[in-house]
Amino acid sequence: MFVEERILTLFKRNLHHTLTYWSVFFSFGLCIAFLGPTILDLRCQTQSTLSQITWVFFAQQFCLLIGSSIAGVFKKTLFRALSALFVSALIISVIFAIIPLCHNVLLLAIAMAVSGMAMGIIDTIANIQLVTIYQKDSAVFLQALHFFIGFGALVSPLIADPFLSEKGCTVGNVTENVTEIMHHLRFSLRNIPMNMHNMTEDHELHVEEEESSVSYAFWIMAFINLPVPIAVLYLMYRERLIPCCPSGTPQLLDKDELAMENQANEGPDTEPKDHEVGGHGDIFSCCQNDNLRGLPVSFFMIHILGGMVLFMTDGIVGAYAGFVYTYAVTPPMALSHKTAGYLASIFWAAITAGRLLSIPLSYRFQPVRLLMVNLAGVIVTVLLLLIFYTSSVFLFVGTCLCGLFLSSVFPCMLAYTEDILDYQGCATSVLVTSAGMGEMVMQVLVGSIIQSEGSYSFLLCGMIIGCIGFVLFFGLLFFERLHRNYLTGTSKKSAMVEEPATEVRPEHKEETESS
């Protein structure tokens, strides 16, 4: 069979949990992608400048990073984990519903900060929960999990597109030049026509006012997302985790039972579900763990280097999705705004397709091999984009290839590092936090470089970041070998200590009997 019977059995046993975690990641993707195409309508709604409205992006990303960092505190029991997922998914629906009511940019930034916090909690908890359930078989399920981010990121712009205004609104004195406007439109996922002939010499932008109906798009997304918290709540009911409704059929195996099934393929058991997820906590508790004393340097370097690789690769994802439009509409490429508007959508579509394709590949190949191919593919693709920097056709081809290669780096790295550490470390929390930090920092860094050095530096930054990530990955391979040698040596020493003890006892017994 294409998939082992053991994995199919394990998947069927945890089908309800797995589908629920996948659904909350759909909420994550739905929330992360809607700001791009709706940014001008929200700007009109809040009567703010482009420089002010872009603080909304920072508020969301910054709080997403905080949410990812602190989410581990909810992992002590299954009740806390599912409760946090339920509240976070419900918050996303509420935020979608109240965004049309935010007529001040500060209120909008606060709303997006709250949604970012919820997204960060979802990101960490869903990843850790799947790793805890499937452990060494988690790679294929993590690929499917991250596919739903891309799927949600595709659905969100499609919902918003029919409701976006084409003419915009009247704004006052805007003292931003054309380059700055391009910089602030870097997140656009669709074509946003701008009549640059309406720019006066005093940099006053006057656009015909048009009533926006984008509020309907947000209400539709809130309604579409509403089944997700309901699904989490139903899972809590099935697991008897709702105090007022103590009925239902428990489904999830605890950690010890799951390990026994993975090793001996034993039958199901129905022990209490409020088990503690050992080894996985928030970053702060990981750093204060007393069990870290006496561990080798390789243990810490695996966490650091794995996080740094994702810092670079997720930084490329954020920077490429954010600035490929700016790069395409400025010289030397100088594409039309309508044509360049498709690039970010193609990039997200390639990431979604790549994650779908990686599901069977993760079953057939080890994560380390997929990581090697993906990281090398990113470097080669960006190098070809640098060589053919005047070819608009290859820009589209390269965007698609770049999305395909970047799509599965995060789930593969997560499965790889957790496997090295035997699912006892804090790798998931570290990697999720590092990836979020990289996406936030690289967007700011690359954006400032493009503004000062020109659009061509966009590809140079991508090339440099990719090469640094590849070098860090080889460092990770080196310390992975050291760590496995350390574990082998430790197990041999333990065997040598136990073996004499088992041999002395029979001899001592014979001497006693003869005497």
- For 449-462, give the DSSP string: HHHHH-TTHHHHHH
Position 452 in a domain: yes
Same-domain status, 350 and 474? yes
Same-domain status, 322 and 405? yes
Residues 364-406 have pLDDT tens digits of 888 899 999 999 999 999 999 999 988 889 999 999 999 999 9
DSSP lists the bridge partners of residue 173 as 204
In the prediction, which pLDDT does 245 show?
A: 67
Mean pLDDT rounded to a whole number for the chain: 76
Position 505 in a domain: no
Same-domain status, 150 and 250? yes
**Residue carrying the six token digits 């496997």:** 419
- Ranges of beta strands (E only) in 143-295 are none
In the prediction, which pLDDT does 65 show?
A: 84
In the prediction, which pLDDT does 90 show?
A: 93
Final residue of a structural domain among 231, 253, 277: 277
First vs last C-alpha separation in the chain: 63
Q: What's 478's domain CATH number?
A: 1.20.1250.20
Same-domain status, 299 and 270? no
Final residue of a structural domain among 217, 246, 277: 277
Position 103 in a domain: yes
Same-domain status, 296 and 273? no
Percent of the chain exceeding pLDDT 70 equals 72
Position 244 in a domain: yes
405: CB partners within 8 A, 6+ apart: 354, 373, 374, 375, 377, 378, 381
DSSP classification of residue 267: P
Whether the CB-CB separation of 260 and 254 falls below 8 Å is answered with no
| pLDDT for residue 174 is more than 50 | no
> How far is the C-alpha of 412 from the C-alpha of 429, rounded, in Å?
15
When computed from its CA atoms, the radius of gyration of the chain, rounded to whole angstroms, is: 25
Range name among 244-258, 289-303, 434-448 with the lowest pLDDT average: 244-258
Range name among 92-101, 314-323, 461-470 with the lowest pLDDT average: 314-323
Same-domain status, 38 and 74? yes
115: CB partners within 8 A, 6+ apart: 31, 60, 63, 91, 92, 95
Q: Is 225 left (phi over 0), alpha (psi -120 to 50) or beta?
A: alpha
Kindly tell me the burial class for residue 54, based on how many C-beta atoms sit within 10 Å of its own C-beta (0-12, 13-18, 19 or more): buried
Range name among 56-70, 104-118, 246-260 with the lowest pLDDT average: 246-260
Position 242 in a domain: yes
Same-domain status, 138 and 6? yes
Range of the domain at 74: 1-198+208-277
In the prediction, which pLDDT does 483 show?
A: 84
- The residue among 478 and 210 whose pLDDT is bigger is 478
Residues 241-260 have pLDDT tens digits of 877 765 555 544 444 444 44
Taking Cα atoms as reference points, which of 440, 180, 400 lies closest to residue 319?
440
Looking from the CA of 207 toward its CB, the CA atoms found within 13 Å total 19
Same-domain status, 370 and 470? yes
Whether the CB-CB separation of 476 and 305 falls below 8 Å is answered with yes
The domain total for the chain is 2
In the prediction, which pLDDT does 400 show?
A: 93
Same-domain status, 266 and 154? yes
Same-domain status, 258 and 346? no
Per-residue confidence at 68, pLDDT binned at 50, 70, 90?
A: confident
- The residue among 104 and 513 whose pLDDT is bigger is 104
Same-domain status, 248 and 373? no
Same-domain status, 254 and 296? no
Position 325 in a domain: yes
Give the mean model confidence (pLDDT) for residues 178-185: 41
Residues 140-166 have pLDDT tens digits of 787 788 788 878 877 877 787 778 665
In the prediction, which pLDDT does 309 show?
A: 94
> How far is the C-alpha of 428 from the C-alpha of 131, rounded, in Å?
8
Token digits of residue 122: 């979802």
Per-residue confidence at 280, pLDDT binned at 50, 70, 90?
A: very low
Position 508 in a domain: no
Final residue of a structural domain among 225, 246, 277: 277
- The residue among 295 and 219 whose pLDDT is bigger is 219
Range name among 107-111, 305-309, 351-355, 402-406 with the lowest pLDDT average: 351-355
In the prediction, which pLDDT does 37 show?
A: 65
Position 156 in a domain: yes
